Amino acid sequence: MGAKIALFAFFMFFALCSATPTKPYTPCKNLVLYFHDVLYNGENAANATSAIVAAPQGANLTKLAPQFHFGNIAVFDDPITLDNKFHSNPVGRAQGFYIYDTKNTFTAWLGFTFVLNSTEHQGSITFAGADPILQKSRDISVTGGTGDFFMHRGIATIMTDAFEGEVYFRLRVDIKFYECW
């Protein structure tokens, strides 16, 4: 009889735990940063923070390819700021690459790291994912970090905050960490 009561209590406990709604995930840390990209165009070497390193056959490395820039690969070392002003004091660098990977719309694949070195934050945050550029906001994965961000994971919502032709753009990056150590 005692075994039946214990078994019944176990199943009731299991059923109640299973029926309890789970609350949505909440971030353990949130951070908003801006990075500023100035693409080398053959005339702005002093200010450029990115450059095309591969292009489709017949294209040059100072202009993005026609037809959605398909086949271009650019590397960058961009300043990161706490606000959207290009000349604000940088708190770190965004270092990585983007690949224009679609023939029928503006889309890129991003792989980069924020290397932060300020009084507020020390360490790196690594990102990877597809960037459908024409969407107002898009999410990419935060795959890890070092220093203050050791083994952090989460989602970064990126938004194009400004752009000037094919030479300059600024991204607002809203980082939500869901796994913090």
Mean pLDDT for 149-174 is: 93
* Rounded-to-integer distance, Cα 125 and Cα 171, Å: 16
Q: Which of 56-60, 70-74, 133-137, 145-149 has the lowest mean pLDDT?
A: 56-60
DSSP H/E element including 112:
strand 108-117
- Range in 17-31, 46-60, 135-149, 155-169 with the lowest mean pLDDT: 17-31
Q: How confident is the model at residue 62 (pLDDT cuts 50, 70, 90)?
A: confident
> Do the beta carbons of residue 105 and residue 138 sit within 8 Å?
no
> By three-state DSSP, how is residue 130 classified?
strand
Residue written as tokens 């792989």?
111
Helix H or strand E segment including 92:
strand 92-100
Whether the pTM exceeds 0.85: the reply is no
| Between 64 and 181, the higher pLDDT residue | 181
What tokens were used for 83?
A: 């606000």
Q: What percent of the chain is modeled with pLDDT above 70?
A: 86
79 within 8 A of 49, measured Cβ to Cβ: yes
Please report the pLDDT score of residue 70 as a whole number: 84
Does the structure show a pLDDT above 90 at 59?
Answer: no
The DSSP letter of residue 158 is E
Distance CA 26, CA 176 (A): 9
- Could you tell me if 106 and 69 are in contact, meaning their C-beta atoms sit under 8 angstroms apart? yes
DSSP symbol at 132? -
From residue 85, alpha-carbon distances to 88, 111, 120, 124, 167 in Å are: 5, 24, 19, 22, 16
Residues 40/53, Cβ–Cβ less than 8 Å: no
